Amino acid sequence: MSKGRARVWAGVDAGKGHHWVAVVDETGATAWSRKVDNDELAILGALGEILELADVVHWAVDISGTASALLLALLAAHGQHAVYVPGRTVNRMSAAYRGEAKTDSRDAYVIAETARHRRDFAPIDVPAQLAADLALLTGHRTDLVADRIRMINRLRDVLTGVFPALERAFDYSAHKGALVLLTGYQIPAAIRRRGRARLTAWLAHRGVRGADVVAAAALEAAQAQRTALPGEDVAGQIVAELAAQILALDDRLKRIDRQIRDTFRCHPQAEIIESLPGMGPILGAEFVVAAGDLSAYADAGRLASAAGLVPVPRDSGRRSGNMHRPKRYSRRLRRVFYMSAQVSITREGPNRDFYLKKRGEGCKHVQAVIALARRRASVLWALLRDNRVFTPAPPIAQAA
């Protein structure tokens, strides 16, 4: 088939199982529209057909994450480049075209047409190996943390049913020594029989810090409950297994945290990101994954807006000045800025000073932290733009 057009625009409505690709020519007429499985052979077949349509193909995709990773990699391998058309832009542009039904083919057509009319969309760089590794590692860590929370909640629930005094004695989400204790002793009678001295030695042999304090708290709880409850032996077995699984999970989290730290610090701007107070390697890696290509943010306001830190008006009738969080934003990116702001206020410095200033103005804790997070988004954007690390004092301008 010969190339009949000088250039065309290909819009991709990306999905996990399949994509819909629509191609329009310079007049806006549909030249090609088809469902393409998210499979290498299927994508290559469609790519070959589309490249035969014109000398130049302009590609536009509505998702730049894992769903479109294979497609973007194959495009790059064939010398093709794509731009990112945000979903909210597609939704707004849809109103300008016929038809009310939302279908994959219509969305793909709107993406192609939007790219044809506009030239201000940011190009998508196929994620480098480092960015892809960080995405996988941080995603896996999130799953492990969720598993840990679920197991701790289950442990506390079972322990409450047979030994409520011991359940209240420790914070099992943060106390490793208490979890070690539960791998061997879960019911009052067993703890009383062991006694404080031998229990302390047992814990110390397993590397528990403050073994005597843990043993004393456990024995105090055991002395407070003399009644043996039905099912406590089976419950004790379950608690011991859960405690062992949580400890094993903690070891896995430590290993993956080291892997994330080492991978993140290979990033060319890792030192800059980590220099911002409260932004350690884990949150720094989350930022790299959530923010994506930083060239997509024309200014600091765009980055803050993507994180949901720029309020938008929601006025109605005679009411004005009613500001709310935007409906569409990256929750992951917002979490990065919020959590790092929370950490930063625990130490003296400009972040804590700004937080206290907002509290003095009448802001509640959450409001003050969000205001600080908004400010930090601007600071981080400027640091990355200028390729310099954070300093408490602003840099001195050089004389011309």
Please tell me the pTM assigned to this model.
0.69
**Residue 190: alpha-carbon gap to chain centroid:** 44
Q: Which two tokens stand for residue 268?
A: 């060319």
Question: Does residue 164 sit in helix, strand or coil?
Answer: helix
Token pair, residue 119, equals 């030239």
* Predicted local confidence at residue 302, as pLDDT: 87
Q: How many CB atoms lie within 10 A of CB 378?
A: 15
Q: What is the structure's pLDDT at 85?
A: 83
pLDDT, position 155: 96
As given in the structure block, the two tokens for residue 76 are 């790059």
List alpha helices for the chain, DSSP H. Answer: 40-51, 69-77, 87-94, 104-117, 129-162, 164-169, 176-184, 188-194, 196-205, 211-223, 232-264, 270-275, 281-291, 300-306, 331-344, 350-360, 365-386
Here the tokens at position 3 are: 């190339």
Q: Tell me what pLDDT residue 392 has.
A: 79
pLDDT at site 132:
79
Mean pLDDT per block of 10 residues along the chain (400 residues) reads 73 92 94 95 95 93 78 88 80 67 83 89 65 88 96 96 94 94 95 95 95 96 90 94 97 96 88 94 93 79 88 54 63 93 93 94 93 94 90 62
Q: Is 257 exposed, middle or buried (0-12, 13-18, 19+ CB in 10 A)?
A: middle
C-alpha–C-alpha distance, residues 130 and 289, integer Å: 10
CA distance 288 to 291: 5
Q: How far is CA 128 from CA 61, 131, 289, in A?
A: 18, 5, 11
C-alpha–C-alpha distance, residues 124 and 292, integer Å:
9
Beta strands across the sheet bearing 54-61: 30-37, 18-24, 5-13, 54-61, 82-84, 123-124
Contacts of 153 (CB under 8 A, 6+ apart): none
Task: Count other Cβ atoms within 10 Å, centred on residue 64.
Answer: 23
> What integer pLDDT is reported at residue 379 of this predicted model?
94
Q: Are 45 and 117 contacting, i.e. CB atoms less than 8 angstroms apart?
A: no
CA distance 23 to 209: 65
CA 5-7-12 angle, to 5 degrees, is 115
Task: Output the pLDDT for position 109.
Answer: 92
